[in-house]
Structure 1
């Protein structure tokens, strides 16, 4: 049974992201504060932001950037990130965002796969970036610094210098329905990270679909603690807040004391969090030392939120608590609990406007219907709407596995329906591990582990953890006669991946359980208690 949002559809204009966010700036809007650097306190009005975006677009065009060119953006949250991201889009380029914690090898892989022709970063991240850009074949003239370049040798052009040229934005004509705006990377339901092709139409739809369900306005102030390089931060927090003409206070990393200080100092009203931050806000004694009375709404996403935790957080802060569901491939949100509190925060609620969804029994293909009472049987959640990605970059096979012929996208999440069609996510079909809201693709870690000379087989699964959500847990088969400790395995992986991808638990085993067809029986491993490895 195909279900729809209980809300009427919204109009999705045929415009670019820039036209949606900045095309209607009035005089009053231009004077509003758009961005605050949470560390320095420096502010940027909407008028200043729009002007800097135009100037950066002009500088890029003058240096040969053309519509369709891919630009890699590797920076922590800061006002300059917004200038760079929207400046590239204004010039007709496509932004591929990188995790600021990536190693040179991880950066290189994404630069090559995305076909990036420019690299934008900040001074502290430059060493890793230079190693990667050299390996990917980019020259020094294709690398730009978003800060003033202090501490560097002056080789690389900087954002302040580019803006000082005062160039107007180029005139570009693109089709929002087909032109790629963003190319974030996601593992989808399985396998290695893939470039997710999000058009201007996808991101415009995502902003418009959120407006009826997220009551955000120009009086709201939002601490931008979740990274802009992640689709949640990019689409919901950055683009959504700019569209509402609210104020964003950026912080480069999560530090609880700094987060609480920003909320208190700037009287923040809207919090977007992931479950680990929700845990800290609910349980950490430091929270009692700050005035958080300005907070009126908290939205949790990126990983499942426990109902009891959500209720406890709402009670502690005296605010409304919502839980959303999404994927990078959905730009990213498809479902959200209603703000009126009519559905438990343990549910992901109903679909956003313009979204259709269904639950399909993974064994029979039968579509489930809402029950008269209680919950339905379990099925895979599938979603269709204008926010569904255009596909995976240069990967038609993965695209065909994910987007069905009738346009529904397979989320890989197992869910149940309530009597009103509300959705409760209960498990995952997909192999992806979620560590503190970040994606950890098991296939990537398994491939890395197999490069160790003392390892002949390995499998990585998630292990439940109250704070992190899931911990990457490796089952390792040692080469006969080899001496290898768990600490050595952990260190081997840690040296080669971003911190969130580290293997946190190592179990040695004699064999990795597989089906007759050779498929790893991950479900069997996920259910094993700690210390259940069969090897010595």
Structure 2
């Protein structure tokens, strides 16, 4: 199955050239980035100048092709400068989760073979401890906002070094080494080239109607591939204004949307739940919002409809993986006929297969209706070159013909619209029947007394796997385990009933919004 959209041109150029070459005078003076907390603005002219100066400062320190630099930084305007400065100098950026412990940071630095680390002062204690574990000296630990004994951004830019002349093949030169979430195993370095990044920005263009008059809210972290490509890089290519937010806080989130009149708001499903259910939302003017775009985890259609009704905007979602830079499917906001619980059509230049996990046979697209479910395999210019130093795991994920096994179970309609059923490894086998946690989670969230929920497989007294729900009650709601089970039972097939319930204060999730099922399994 090939994308129903015409292929787009993917130039073989570095990501910096693709994003910033061709800016005219009016575009150079337009606002590129707005600090959502302070309101400070950076124009495209200023941003390009800072990127070039930072690249020059790095080159003066022999950072270039072959150098890997860790970036431990929240969503602040300087992230764009240092991230693209590293790539502009020919280096490779490995972006690190801001919530990581010192040991986790050190592990990633070690695995990526990073010789430098860039951070900010609030994260310095963990960064410094990690640098010491890794053997990175103080003069290789850059603290952007300044700390005694470390280089800082102001001084580096003030040196006045111009960007170096570098030459590499964008199709093979590693631009970034983000790490997979680790929700199903140890995090792995995902090797993405300049061409991967350029391709995915180009592929998003026909489906996301973003332009110079738009302002995009960036609360989803830039260190994650979703924020890196669909927010940071895509916004720059479209000459839009990007409003940064370093961490999610609902009140600040709503204030920034209202004050900065953001038109596109990119979220993960947990934020969508808050937008649908939290009473404080009604206190803010969100009328500028045209589109809320959800990614990183499945968004239920009923939840999407509730948010759309409350905010008065389109709510759509997309699908991708770190291994695909990330976008594979997107729902265009103007295609209102598409089921919002779907992940929409394939982005241009992308092929897909559905493969029966039992037989290995391809499942054909139907001439009408919906196909049988199968594991989604994808192929396209956005697909990674492999996992760093993990040839066996690369071979298990990526075949010789370029097909990437996503590990997700999907269906496709006759007109090319895909639905994710669930993760292959997360399906619950109840008496031989397959039960998808995502389906039950969507049902649970329909209950007005439930603020959040997650479902995993647990074992009953007979050692048989059954669906177990972890439930967060709405504040002051009276809800028993029997109430939860009865509610679900009224809406699903008998084999899909929730058989166990545990109430919990918060559902553990990664920074990108994925439910950390391994943390829930550790509780049982």
TM-score category, normalised to shorter length? 0.7 to 0.9
1:35 aligned residue: 33
- Is 1:272 the counterpart of 2:272? The answer is no
1:418 aligned residue: 413
2:132 aligned residue: 134
Match of 2:92 among 83, 91, 94: 94
| Counterpart mapping for 1:235-314 below 5 A | 235-314=229-308
Report how far residue 283 of structure 1 moved. Answer: 1.3
Q: Name the SS for the 1:4 alignment partner.
A: coil
1:190/1:432 contact within 8 Å kept: no
Structure 1: distance between partners of 2:512 and 2:322:
19
Q: Name the SS for the 1:363 alignment partner.
A: coil
1:336/1:350 contact within 8 Å kept: yes
1:190/1:431 contact within 8 Å kept: no
Structure 2: distance between partners of 1:240 and 1:113:
28
1:123 aligned residue: 121
1:415-466 Cα shifts (integer Å, max 9, x gaps) = 1121212111111114599xxxxxxxxxxxxxxxxxxxxxxxxxxx999574
2:206 aligned residue: 212
1:522 aligned residue: none
2:224/2:512 contact within 8 Å kept: no
Structure 1: distance between partners of 2:256 and 2:65:
38
C-alpha RMSD of matched pairs (Å): 2.5
Match of 2:104 among 103, 106, 109: 106
- Which deviates more from structure 2 when the two are superposed, residues 66-75 or residues 314-323? 314-323
- Is 1:352 the counterpart of 2:347? The answer is yes
| Counterpart mapping for 1:316-355 below 5 A | 316-339=310-333, 340-355=335-350
1:371 aligned residue: 366
| Counterpart mapping for 1:56-95 below 5 A | 56-95=54-93
Report how far residue 66 of structure 1 moved. Answer: 2.1
1:173 aligned residue: 167
Report how far residue 358 of structure 1 moved. Answer: 1.1
TM-score when normalising by structure 1: 0.81
Structure 2: distance between partners of 1:63 and 1:186:
30
Structure 1: distance between partners of 2:166 and 2:197:
18
Unaligned runs of 5+ in 1: 434-460, 476-489, 509-532
Closer, same or farther in 2 for the Cα pair 1:87/1:473, shift >3 Å? Answer: farther
1:53/1:84 contact within 8 Å kept: yes
1:361 aligned residue: 356
Closer, same or farther in 2 for the Cα pair 1:156/1:388, shift >3 Å? Answer: same
Structure 1: distance between partners of 2:64 and 2:458:
44
| Counterpart mapping for 1:198-237 below 5 A | 198-237=192-231
1:485-521 Cα shifts (integer Å, max 9, x gaps) = xxxxx9xxx9xx999869754677xxxxxxxxxxxxx
1:457 aligned residue: none
Structure 2: distance between partners of 1:171 and 1:468:
51
Q: Name the SS for the 2:197 alignment partner.
A: helix
Structure 2: distance between partners of 1:396 and 1:104:
27
Q: Name the SS for the 1:404 alignment partner.
A: coil
1:57/1:91 contact within 8 Å kept: yes
1:401 aligned residue: 396
Closer, same or farther in 2 for the Cα pair 1:421/1:330, shift >3 Å? Answer: same
Match of 1:191 among 185, 188, 191: 185
Q: Name the SS for the 1:35 alignment partner.
A: strand
